[in-house]
Structure 1
């Protein structure tokens, strides 16, 4: 099976506050051939590579992807001698690899997996066994998110990425499309940022689904579908709507799913509930002085209180000398928040 060059190639681009924001579909169009080429060279399913890129880089919108061309969240480790990028992750000021181009990030991702013994078992799986690869990556410690495998599988099945695992070659014309037609591609690499001015001649339409076309360029300005609220401890949050998923919310606010899980201290759960609070910024270490005490209006756990108040659970456990965050606290009990 070959990838055929699509004539009249059209890519929609979202621009918010003067910055380009890419959708999952755009990301796939941009990088599917690179993922297939890496699969043919290094025997890593293209679906897995694409899903990891979407998840780790928030469709190429994350700060790490934009400023360091790192689409897979690969940290420096001792053997890395290249450029670096520092940002907070599981701990403060962690060292991440930085690349000249995003394509280099794809190559290094393949070398990273194929060159480490802990991932060796994955290469015994079939290229079409994306579920086995997803679970194997989580088991081998690629990410700390307990739902990492589930999230990869969800992305692959939602966008039918496993179709690319069956390809046996990459059409060279399509592979070099972004080089020959830069005005038709939403280029994510720093080296190609000079092409962004091609959007100036395109029609612009506001709205979630509307789009206008001019000279094969389409720009859609998407307005956030969620209202951003701030709680009494000054933490930003949104309220879950019907049809929301972790991936959809993360993409809307240009976050990775790992960030979303970290900010909300999510435990293992698959479905968001309508009306639920989801924080889009880190919780506070303690409440503001005016909110020092919390009086339980019903029976609930310390985990629920921490989420309601936007305060980190571990901090509340230490302040209140509680070892089990799921222990039910009776109605009327006062809980110290700072």
Structure 2
């Protein structure tokens, strides 16, 4: 009898210990659930969303600016005698290719200040001094027109119009000497833009000096007997400035090597670079 009681107690103890084992909980995912990995988008991440817009580079914005305003620049060159290359280079530099606050809020692409003779709208911004007065226009074309009026109407710019229309370097230096800008590197910046983006081609179009493609092919047919390994073939977007930098030359050295005086290049044209 005692053995039966002992056996009963042992079985009860074993059953009690087995029931204390923790319960395993499983989570069943709803039907149709699918893991979606967050997509990285800049500094933030969002599940299932991704921006398709890509910000334009400075280079793209500048080419877009040139495409938009080269016609008005050439028109002003024909009417007022200001090189189109200088007009465009100043517009790019002064307006940040149309993206500066002054350009976007006041349509002022040339940093023209009010002065005593200005009776139009105004906007005030810090520049050389605090809270300076700048001219405000209804549209950008008015800014281009006023730029021509300023250069042709003020005596201090008179010497500019004695310079050759195709000599953009002298015009760039002349603007600084006449007091258009206080930046000592103003001429170098204008020249760099002109040569980087081949803005002198618009001067050539107005002056009627653009070489015909047939003439270019004849001129460069044998490349003065140069070895093929020393030649570079011009690609879309190339300029004298960009090619000269690529081969560690100055623009003048590149022109001398190829016996060139014009500032225009053609796609497929071969230049001696070594």
TM-score with structure 2 length normalisation?
A: 0.54
The corresponding residue for 2:100 is 62
The corresponding residue for 2:133 is 95
Q: How has the CA–CA distance of structure 1 residues 21 and 150 changed in structure 2, closer, same or farther, with 3 Å as cutoff?
A: closer
Distance in 1, Cα, partners of 2:167 & 2:54: 33
Root-mean-square deviation (Å): 2.3
Q: How has the CA–CA distance of structure 1 residues 14 and 89 changed in structure 2, closer, same or farther, with 3 Å as cutoff?
A: farther
Distance in 1, Cα, partners of 2:160 & 2:197: 23
The corresponding residue for 1:143 is 181
1:84 aligns with 2:122: yes
Q: How has the CA–CA distance of structure 1 residues 30 and 153 changed in structure 2, closer, same or farther, with 3 Å as cutoff?
A: same
Q: Secondary structure at the match of 1:156?
A: helix
Task: Pick one of 159, 163, 172 that aligns with 1:121.
Answer: 159
* 1:148-174, Cα deviation, whole Å (9 max, x unpaired): 0010001000111011012239xxxxx
Which structure 1 residue ranges, 5 or more long, are not aligned? 1-12, 170-242, 244-338
1:73 aligns with 2:111: yes
Task: Pick one of 66, 72, 77 that aligns with 1:39.
Answer: 77
* Higher relative contact order, chain-length normalized (CA < 8 Å, sep 6+): 1
Which structure 2 residue ranges, 5 or more long, are not aligned? 1-52, 208-245, 247-274
Distance in 2, Cα, partners of 1:100 & 1:15: 27
Q: Secondary structure at the match of 1:168?
A: helix
* 1:16-71, Cα deviation, whole Å (9 max, x unpaired): 7xxx9961111100100010001011000000000000000000000000000000
Q: How has the CA–CA distance of structure 1 residues 166 and 96 changed in structure 2, closer, same or farther, with 3 Å as cutoff?
A: same
Distance in 1, Cα, partners of 2:98 & 2:60: 7
Q: How has the CA–CA distance of structure 1 residues 84 and 22 changed in structure 2, closer, same or farther, with 3 Å as cutoff?
A: farther
